[in-house]
Amino acid sequence: MKLVLRGHHLLCLKGFQGYGYSEEFTHNMTEINKLRKSENTTVTLTNTPDDICKACPKLNDNMCQDRKHNSIIVGMDNEVLKKFDTSKEYNAPELFDKIDSIFNSRESVREICFECMWHEECLFYQKL
């Protein structure tokens, strides 16, 4: 299976425990969270709408919510993407292991997670 994921969604997936914006969103995110743990899954990275966004009620005209909010989201993606090679297809479990070693303190995710509404529910953020 090949997944396309936005940079900041690598962190969201690590913290996911079943919350989301709608039933369809949560179902899709749950499926992707299973797939990303398989040795047979590869991931390419992006700062545009991805396999998670496609089931999101906030996706609007290929943007996250609106132009202003979308630019914040793209900035979050780019903070993650600067640590990776966006031309590469990554083995999914290896990619997610790298996330743990790169983003290992609240300071390391300051520019990515600072405005997120899911802090209380995010297992990844909570364990930093």
Cα(73)–Cα(125) distance, integer angstroms? 17
What minimum distance in Å lies between the beta carbon of 64 and ligand SF4?
A: 3
Span between the terminal Cα atoms of the chain, in Å = 30
Q: Which residues pair with 43 in a beta bridge?
A: 3, 90
Cα(112)–Cα(80) distance, integer angstroms? 8
What minimum distance in Å lies between the beta carbon of 98 and ligand SF4?
A: 21
Q: 21 vs 40, which CB is nearer to ligand SF4? A: 21
Residue 17: what residue type? Q
Q: 58 vs 83, which CB is nearer to ligand SF4? A: 58
Enumerate binding residues for ligand SF4 (CB under 6 A): 52-53, 56, 58-59, 64, 73
Give the closest residue to 124 by CA, choosing from 13, 32, 28: 13
Q: 34 vs 107, which CB is nearer to ligand SF4? A: 34
What minimum distance in Å lies between the beta carbon of 53 and ligand SF4?
A: 3
What minimum distance in Å lies between the beta carbon of 73 and ligand SF4?
A: 5
Q: 59 vs 102, which CB is nearer to ligand SF4? A: 59
Strand-strand pairing, 2-6 and 42-46: parallel
Say how many residues make up the chain. Answer: 128
